[in-house]
Structure 1
Amino acid sequence: MRPDSRTAIITGGASGMGKATALRFARDGHTIGVLDIDGAGAEAVAADIVAGGGKAIALKADLGVRAQIEAAVAKARADLGPVTIVVNNAALESFAPVAEVTEADWDRLMDVNVKGAFVLIQAALPDMVAAGWGRIVNISSFGAQTGAPNMALYTASKGGVISMTRSMAVELGRHGITVNSVSPGFIDTPMARRAIDGDLFPVPWEQIIASYPIPRLGRPEEIAAACAYFASEDAGYVTGQLLGVNGGTAF
């Protein structure tokens, strides 16, 4: 094991950006807790990491349930060691007009996208404080910076993630813990493909990406690379930052 190896928990690690990040962090020498509500998917990603010579375990948890999050962190700590890297990637999407969003929709999405991320950080925080070193990377969204039709609920949650990131960075820096956010643009993930297949965008998706300086969908591996930087020793003096990985899209 490399001397700079750490234990990382990646949420939403069974697919898309989370899977790419888990695989990238494993290649960088970290041990990985692949956390997802899809237990079989998490097991498959962990198995891929182990087959490639890395160390990983699957952690099944619903991020809307505090007890499940805390149990997952406890298992990662027991099996892999203190958790000093957290990547909050898992999220629920929402494509609905404002008038159609129910209170139940609001509560469930906020429970997962904002509170779940907060609770996971709380659960891992004692390990980071004890180590005097920690890396927290929260995945937000370009839509939270620009606004998007039929996505007020989703973008509200991701705006909360951005604000939470900045406040945590101010509070936790003295403990050697950095807190940063990666803001993806239009990334080729299962979530994005569901939106494409469901024709959920106000204009054809091809028209959206044609307007970008880099006119293509982003790759999950490109988000993983940004996360890897924030989790590295090289980023020890970088905190409270929001990095857009979005093909150069303008506001």
Structure 2
Amino acid sequence: MKARARGMPVIVYRLGNQAGDRANAAWNPQDLTLLMLQGVLRSGQAPRLNWRLEFTPVDFTSEVIVRAMAQLSLHAGKIFHLVNPQPISFDLLCDWLSVSGYTLRRVDYADWLVELRQLAEACQPIASLLRLLEELAPSGGSQYFGQLSTFDSRQLRAALPSLGLESGYPAIESSLLAVYVARLAERGLLPRARRNTSGGALLGKVAMVTGASSGIGQAVAQALARDGCQVALVARRADQLEQVRQGILAAQGVAVACPADVTSRAEVEAAVARCRSLLGQPDILVNSAGVMYYTRAFSGLTHLTDRTIDVNCRGLVHTVEAVLPIMLDRGGGHIVNLSSDAGRAPFPGLAVYTGSKFFVEGYSRALRLEVASRGLRVTCVQPGDVRTPLQACRDDADSEAHKEFSGQGKYTMLEPEDVARAILYAVQQPPHVGVNEILVESREAPI
């Protein structure tokens, strides 16, 4: 400031936490974030912490400084806070480490410190971490992590385009974290992750599946995981999602739970953000969330009408619109929408459901025409009756319509796995092949 008062051009840079560069992860060995990573991965334990991590790749910082100095007359007198405007939670980081091949057990912070003390004698980074934690929080509590300062970086973000950095501030997401962990593991600073190299044509792809807590969605998620996909499981019921996730993990697959109600655009966008943070950008979207109520048009059950339209129509559009910009930016992706044979022919007792599936058909066909030249594929799968919870008659539904028009007990229904195999076939095709529609029904009940 004294220099500026004497007429010298000055730019002030206030740095947040500086992480390794994005090519080699060359990192300050005494940095808290790096030491915390080493503590978590070497102990196999993730402490419960209210901590929002922010860090900036050091090569980005140096690039900003060099470019700003080259435009000194434009930026003189400014204060640039090089502090990441989008920190991530420590819980989310630990979730990402778990799906990336590290086995972690969640523990209380105090119990984690006990484990670190046992490891410190044989591990210098752990000893350094303990010393740093004792300096920051002498009482041994974790309150320090919830009291870290934040800074306003709007002035810097406004200047980035003039500095030729239109891509903006580096986001703390899966791709950056993967580079850091891989490079640090190569140098022996972190243990290596367990990698699942089994799978088929979809190995390494990222898929989002809605309605994944049961029925067709669950079967699709399991089939994709077996073929090598990393799967984001989306549904309202978090407890059932966790059961599905644990089953996939037990089979050596990769899955994360992203609880969300598809009728809420905000919850869908949060689920997509969680998928991107933990797994990366989705390559495949399978819209399996849906409801089906046997109700005649004159039944007066308007709450079921509203629910059908909200889930089957609005919910599907919400997920497509949340994922579509990502796929278009990348120039590739596959959207699979679960329609029904009721989207091909009307069924009595299912007037509203039939209308919702006619919507799915029309929306999918128009969407396909709009995005085909941009590298995207859209598949509409039209199952007949499938043995899922959808077939059950709710207490508040039209029991007479269910009894008269349901196919239950009249022929052998499809199983969810039958539909999952059809979807797997579609998404396994080469990029130039578009499987636009698949009608799969019980042999005994063709339309």
Q: TM-score normalized by structure 2?
A: 0.51
Structure 2: how far apart are the matches of 1:203 and 1:97? 10
Match of residue 246 from structure 1 = 441
CA distance in 2, matches of 1:204, 1:30: 35
Compute the displacement of 1:203 (Å).
5.2
Q: How much has 1:234 moved relative to structure 2?
A: 3.4
Residue of structure 2 in register with 1:205 after alignment: 407
Aligned to 1:161: 360
Aligned to 2:254: 55
Measured after TM superposition, the shift of residue 204 of structure 1 is 6.8
* 2:440 equivalent to 1:231: no
Q: Deviations over 1:160-206 (max 9, x none)?
A: 011111111111111211001111111111212447xx671425736
**Residue 233 of structure 2 aligns with which residue?**
34
Which is further off, 49-58 or 141-150? 141-150
Amino acid at match of 2:381: V
The alpha carbon displacement at 1:94 in A equals 1.8
- Residues 261 and 268 of structure 2 are in contact (CA less than 8 Å); yes or no, is this contact kept in structure 1? yes
Tell me if structure 1 keeps the 8 A contact 2:387–2:415: yes
Query: Which shows bigger deviation, 136-145 or 22-31?
Result: 136-145
Q: Which residue of 1 aligns with 2:415?
A: 219
Q: What is the SS of the residue equivalent to 2:207?
A: strand
- Matched residue SS, 2:284: strand
Contact kept, 8 Å, 1:32 with 1:55, in 2: the verdict is yes
3-state SS, counterpart of residue 202 of structure 1 = helix
Moved more, 185-194 or 54-63: 185-194
What secondary structure sits across from 2:386 in the alignment?
coil
Is the CA contact (8 Å cut-off) linking 2:327 and 2:333 kept in structure 1? yes
- Would the alpha carbon gap of residues 108 and 194 (structure 1) be closer, same or farther in structure 2, given more than 3 Å must change? closer
Give the match's secondary structure for 2:285. Answer: strand
Match of 2:317 in 1: 118
Q: How far, CA to CA, are the matches of 1:50 and 1:207 in structure 2?
A: 35
Q: Cα offset for 1:130? A: 2.6
Structure 2: unaligned runs, 5 residues or longer? 1-196
**Offset of residue 66 of structure 1:** 0.6
Structure 1 match to 2:331: 132
**Distance of aligned partners of 1:207 and 1:56 in 2 relative to their CA distance in 1, 3 Å threshold:** closer
Deviation at 1:127, TM superposition (A): 2.1
**Pair 1:116–1:203, CA change in 2 (3 A):** closer
Q: Who is 2:269 aligned against?
A: 70
Deviation at 1:208, TM superposition (A): 4.0
2:220 is equivalent to residue 18 of structure 1 = no
Deviations 1:116-153 (A, max 9, x none): 11111111112212322101110011123221112111
SS of residue matched to 1:23: helix
**Aligned amino acid, residue 133 of structure 1:** G
User: Higher helix share goes to which structure?
Assistant: 1
Deviation readout 1:200-251 (Å, 9 max, x if unpaired): 1425736742xxxxxx211111100111122123364215x22111024433
Match of residue 242, structure 2, among 26, 43, 47: 43
Paired with 2:208 and 2:299, the residues of 1 have a C-alpha distance of: 35
Q: Which stretch of the first structure deviates more once superposed, 38-47 or 121-130?
A: 121-130
Alpha-carbon contact 1:135-1:230 (below 8 Å) kept: no
> What is the aligned residue count?
242
> Helix, strand or coil: the match of 2:439?
strand
**How far did residue 38 of structure 1 move?**
1.0
Greater RCO structure (CA 8 Å; 6+ sep): 1
Query: Which one-letter code corresponds to 1:250 in the other structure?
Result: P
**Is there any run of 5+ residues in structure 1 with no aligned partner, and where?**
210-215
Equivalent pair of 2:276/2:282 in contact (CA under 8 Å) = yes
Residue number among 181, 184, 188 corresponding to 2:387 in the alignment: 188
- RMSD between aligned residues: 2.0
2:279 maps to 80
Tell me which residue corresponds to 1:213. none
CA deviation after TM superposition for structure 1 residue 93, in Å: 1.4
